[in-house]
Structure 1
């Protein structure tokens, strides 16, 4: 009993798996039986009708055989049509299958091509990433060098300003020394001119020249006077 239940359960499970609708098989069988019943009714009516030759009719066995023959012919025609339809469908499915195979082959080739392109793009991406990392390092080094150069430039400007200030101070001191030297030279020239002028004036006094000629000895008074005036001028 349990084996029979398992068998029925397995058959029902198989039917549910193979059919979307569990009752579709029953409806199909019922439709076929109804069609066969209609066919038998039609053929039975044909058998019941008298023939064109005036025969009263066929016996029951003959009618049954004739009915079976007509059913067989109808079934044969239907099977032939079904075979023809299935052949057409098979050709269509074969063409569709070939098309699907060609599509699969094309998609496989495209997949291989895209995989190669993906590998190339991945390699290019790796190269770009390496180049970006290298350029980032170079940029950092250049920025560091730029900062050092800016600091050096600022120090050079400060040193330049300091040197310029020292140079200006030295030039100022030198100008002051030159001015003092020029003032000294000017004062010395003025003193020399006054001294020469005074000397000429003393030399041109007539009374002093007469006394020196009459006594027969030079006078020392002009020299003493000149020395005293020179001392006063330097003071």
Structure 2
């Protein structure tokens, strides 16, 4: 039986129980009383014994009524047994269906339990890996902080070295400029001496010859 059919059947049974069960006893009693009244009316209309004259001869009628009521009760009991048998077959079918559902759900529960166990194992592994990564991340953060501090120190040292190098280069450039200026002045002085030397040389030579002739 499919799940939706079982659900609909259960809903119908519940509706019948809520609507009919409170009045089931009243309906059955009323039906029995109506049947007995109908039998009594028939027996009174058609007396079973000839020569029946009135109420004083009602004993055979009562016996006949009792017999008919017993037959009616037996018929009702037979129908009740048939109904109960059909209900029993239905309950057995529903029980088998419920048993099959229990077996299926048990299998699904076992599969889900295995899957849950596998997921728990995987989760434990992920948690362990996450813990290791967290520790590694914390170590890397500490290392990065240390490297940043060292980088700051190195940057300061670099700036200091660069400043000193620039100062040394500036002083060296000043020394070179002074040296170049001195060299330039020396070359100018040497040039002036050379030019003065060349201008004074003929006059000195003439004076020397005159002195030699006078002697």
Q: TM-score, normalised by structure 1?
A: 0.67
Once the 2 structures are TM-superposed, how far is the Cα of residue 146 of structure 1 from its aligned partner?
Answer: 2.0
Match of 1:180 among 171, 178, 181: 178
Closer, same or farther: CA 203–78 of 1 in aligned 2, 3 Å: same
**How many angstroms does 1:181 deviate by?**
1.4
- Asked whether 1:46 is paired with 2:36, we answer no
Aligned length: 188
Do 1:50 and 1:56's aligned partners in 2 also have CA atoms closer than 8 Å? Answer: no
Instruction: Show the 5 A alignment for 1:49-198.
Output: 49-50=45-46, 55-57=50-52, 62-198=60-196
Q: CA deviation at 1:199?
A: 2.5
Offset, 1:120? 1.9
What TM-score, normalized to structure 2? 0.72
The 5 Å alignment of 1:207-222 reads 207-214=206-213
Between the two structures, name the one with larger relative contact order (CA 8 Å, sep ≥ 6): 2
Q: Take 1:118 and 1:66, find their aligned partners in 2: how far apart are those partners?
A: 74
- Choose between structure 1 and 2: higher helix proportion: 2
Which structure 1 segments of 5+ residues have no match?
A: 1-23, 217-235
CA distance in structure 2 between the partners assigned to 1:102 and 1:123 by the alignment: 31
Structure 2's unaligned 5+ residue stretches are 1-20
Q: CA RMSD in A?
A: 3.1
What CA distance in whole angstroms lies between the structure 2 residues aligned with 1:81 and 1:185?
Answer: 144
- Measured after TM superposition, the shift of residue 106 of structure 1 is 1.9
In structure 2, the CA distance between the partners of 1:73 and 1:180, relative to structure 1 (3 Å rule), is same
| Residue pair 2:43, 2:65 contacting (<8 A) in 1 also | yes
Q: Larger Rg: 1 or 2?
A: 1
Distance 1:35 1:210 in 2: 186
**Shift in Å, 1:41:** 4.6
Q: How much does 1:85 deviate? A: 0.7
Aligned equivalent of 2:5 = none
Equivalent residue number for residue 199 of structure 1:
197
- Report what 2:16 is aligned to: none
How big is the shift at 1:153?
2.3
Residue 60 of structure 1 deviates from its aligned partner by 6.0
Offset of 1:81 from its aligned partner?
Answer: 0.5
